[in-house]
Structure 1
Amino acid sequence: MSPKPSTRAWLFFGALVVLSALIVRHDLDRFLPGHLATEVGHNREALGFAILMCATIQWFRPWAARTRHAMPLAVGYGLGLVAFGWWLLQSDLPTDYTTFSESFFGAGVLAIYVQPRRPLRYGPWFSAVVLAFIVVFFKTPLVLDESENLLMTMLGPVAFDLFDRTILDRDAEDRPRLRLAWCAALVLAWFVFWRLAALVRPDLSGPVDFGIDYAYRGAEAYWGILLVHVYFSYVLGRSWRGPVRASAGRRAMVDA
């Protein structure tokens, strides 16, 4: 008999918190091989992002939606996360802690994005806007220093409003093959950019090399978005999704 959804939820959050603590305390190499421990440690911001984003979608978003001021509350909440991330970045805490500011930046922006009721047809266009912003202002400190949270912000809309709409719309049609392909693509993207970055980094030159390096520096975004998919679609699974909406073809047959 599988654990209850609430038990699975707390096990998921607990595992991410424990893993984050092991990374911060530099104890992860006691449990994982050195190279793997280093790679996981480099992507610690993904863990913080997943904790914040999953909690926001599961608890804050429905609570705010039941009030008369859902969007103002979401804006205040999102800006609060961004403000805390900024404080963390400017603090005198060790870099093991300040690096989690990127988790708060990414989750803060997306906390505002996810609040409106679904379906949100224009959502994925937000990803295109963020990508255009990165390309146009690539050489600015804002873009160069914030690769992780900018890529989180770019990937979030297509993840939540294109590839796995059941995360934000529990009555949306479940498309498990599309979701699985997208999750595999996130892992593949990390692997490809990881290997390509190792080739181009010794002598970076030209937009292609810098683009590859940037895409790999933001690898936390791939893992962070993937963890959100894992939580809602596989850890909670059917307990999170509502009744599957009939496909257009089936509706047409019924209407006939």
Structure 2
Amino acid sequence: MPSWFKTTFLYASAFASAAVLATACDPSYGIRSFRCDPSEGDCPTKYGAGTYVCCSDDPAAIDLSTPEELALPSYGGGSGIPLYASANNNNSTSGFCIDTSSVPPAAGIMEVGAGQGCPLPCNPTWDQADITAVCGTATSCCASVELQDSDCGLDMSMGANGCWRPVTGGDIQGLSGIDVSDWSASDHATHQDPGGGGCEQFVAVQAAAISSAGLSTNQALFACFRKLSVANQRGFCQGAMDCPLANPAYRDACEQKNDAEGRLDCG
């Protein structure tokens, strides 16, 4: 999708509609504010004049030719197969109820499937060049949810005496990170795909492509696990703005733990 075309549209209308849903939706749908779980499909299919989809906010993607490297998602022109967005939207456990009829076609996911019409997920920790590549020029990628205390792991390789930082799937025990997680449902607060069922589904569906790439099932599965994240790596492309959680004065849950414990050189 050309950058100039993507930046013609902003996503404000989609998020405004989601905010309306937060206060007006039928509580029998079990929606927590306008957060939702795409794997459960817990948005109304229709509310008033809108058509709501539980849209994943996770841009994690994998290029099977280089599975351990960063890959930008294919919906943004990259080489990576989206793990939790676009056609694999319903593998995700993290999303927002979005009125997809309010997202201009050129500003949303075009691929036919579960995530069609959803706004483009992005990773706020990407560098600006990658954000521009996926979102277009004059855009921002803002985190959609705050980290919680249980999303942090102590990394002794950082700072003067170790630093708390957001965990990733690479920190699952046995995957060569800081071995602080089993990624179970109760292990963290905002982690994607607790238990790894979405990764297992991805590997099953992509079995032929995985084999063609010369990977074993376990290699592909572990590569998927390493792409898992907590809330700091999930968001949506938006028009250029100052992201509230990127304000220099804001201290996330992990930074607050470092401050409280007097840990040095942690940023």
TM-score bracket relative to the smaller structure: under 0.3
Bigger radius of gyration, 1 or 2?
A: 1
The normalised TM-score by structure 1 is 0.26
Q: TM-score, structure 2 length as denominator?
A: 0.25
Select the structure that is richer in helix.
Answer: 1
Query: Relative to total residues, which structure has the larger strand share, 1 or 2?
Result: 2
